[in-house]
Amino acid sequence: MISEDDVRREALALPGADERPMYGTPAFYVGGRWFARIREEGDVLAVPCPSEEHKRELVAAQPETFFTTPHYDGHAVVLVRLGAVDRQELAELLADAWRLRAPRRLLRP
């Protein structure tokens, strides 16, 4: 299973990423905007996604991996069960979330 340390290692490897607490749990930021947060449960990661429609598609396609709660209704944020992803999937999820939030200067090749 993916651990908090695994999330931290992958998130902080992204350009310009840093860690700060959000609601008392570890969260990862780029350019002052959060792109991942470990929820209170400890085995759930919140990440932004491109749209609410995309979130619904993820949840419908892979409900064992992705889910949401009423708290996130109206927000393009999906919850990820860390026990249902491997290290490569985690890295891809974090990179996608990072790209959604990173400033343009970091996105340039």
Q: Which domains does the chain have, with CATH numbers?
A: 4-103 (3.90.1150.30)
Predicted TM-score of the model (pTM): 0.93
Q: In what order do the strands lie in the sheet with 25-30?
A: 17-22, 25-30, 33-38, 44-48, 77-81, 66-67
* Tokens found for residue 26: 């570890």
In angstroms, how far is the first alpha carbon of the chain from the final one? 33
Is the pLDDT reported for residue 109 higher than 70?
Answer: no
CB-CB contact of 37 with 79 (8 Å): no
The contacts of residue 65 (CB under 8 Å, 6+ apart) are 58, 80, 81, 84, 85
Q: What is the pLDDT of residues 12-44, one digit of tens each?
A: 999 999 999 999 999 999 999 999 999 998 899
